[in-house]
């Protein structure tokens, strides 16, 4: 386990396609399934949640996760990444990198996360790929934290990746979990 890498979980979305708050769906709640996998691999976990998200805050209050409130307006994937990385930069720990996860991806294997961690460096962006489809998590070295703090769009960090192709590495994995997010009730 790399102590100098943290995880950032994006959980501020509104589950529009799902039809209800998918974070709380399933016998074992989706958000807890996702976090269980991440907690096996990271000591430092940050989670961006909706503004005044009392239900989620209450659920996670006894888990060692730093909760970060998203702004009340202008919520996008980019905004969530930006506020999350800003908070991580304020931490007493100088992380070499940060792995960005989506809260609706509970099936990523620990060995996949570990393989990504093993090649991550502060000057790299490392992403998993399964059968020619890129997925999550995406590891960003701290050289990219300033750029990540500035994004505000719905595309998340895609522009940062496009602008830094020479620093972008893809790891082919045998793990469908890196592309398998839960968007509809029948998937979860």
Task: Give the domain ranges of the chain.
Answer: 5-180
Output the pLDDT for position 28.
Answer: 56
Is residue 174 within 8 Å of 135, Cβ to Cβ?
Answer: no
Output the pLDDT for position 13.
Answer: 65
**Which stretches in the chain have pLDDT values below 70?**
1-3, 13-28, 72, 74, 182-188
Looking up tokens 């045998």 gives 174
pTM score of the predicted model: 0.87
Is residue 123 within 8 Å of 31, Cβ to Cβ?
Answer: no
- Exposure string for 5-28, b = 16+ CB within 10 A, e = fewer: bbbbbbbbbebeebeebbbebeee
pLDDT digits (tens, 9 = 90+) for 8-38: 999 886 544 444 454 554 555 778 888 998 9
Which is nearest to 3 in space by CA: 42, 59, 45?
42
DSSP classification of residue 126: E
Output the pLDDT for position 188.
Answer: 46
CATH topology of domain 5-180: Spore Coat Polysaccharide Biosynthesis Protein SpsA; Chain A (3.90.550)
What would the DSSP string read from start to end of 20-66? Answer: S-GGG-TTTTHHHHHHHHHHTT-S-EEEEE-TT-HHHHHHHTTSS-E
């Amino acid at each position: 386990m790399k102590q100098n890498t943290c995880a950032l979980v994006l959980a501020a979305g509104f589950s529009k396609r799902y039809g209800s708050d998918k974070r709380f769906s399933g016998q074992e709640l989706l958000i807890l399934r996702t976090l269980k996998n991440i907690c096996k691999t990271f000591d430092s976990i940050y989670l961006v949640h909706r503004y005044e998200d009392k239900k989620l805050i209450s659920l996670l209050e006894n888990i060692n996760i730093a909760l970060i409130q998203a702004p009340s307006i202008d919520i996008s994937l980019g905004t969530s990444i930006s506020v999350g990385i800003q908070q991580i930069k304020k931490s007493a720990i100088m992380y070499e990198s940060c792995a960005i996860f989506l809260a609706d991806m509970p099936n990523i294997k620990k060995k996949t996360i570990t393989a990504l961690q093993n090649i991550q460096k502060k000057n790299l962006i490392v992403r998993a790929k399964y059968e020619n489809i890129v997925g999550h998590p995406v590891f960003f070295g701290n050289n990219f934290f300033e750029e990540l703090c500035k994004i505000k769009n719905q595309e998340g960090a895609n522009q940062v990746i496009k602008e830094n192709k020479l620093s972008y590495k893809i790891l082919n994995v045998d793990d469908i979990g890196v592309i398998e997010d839960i968007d509809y009730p029948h998937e979860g």
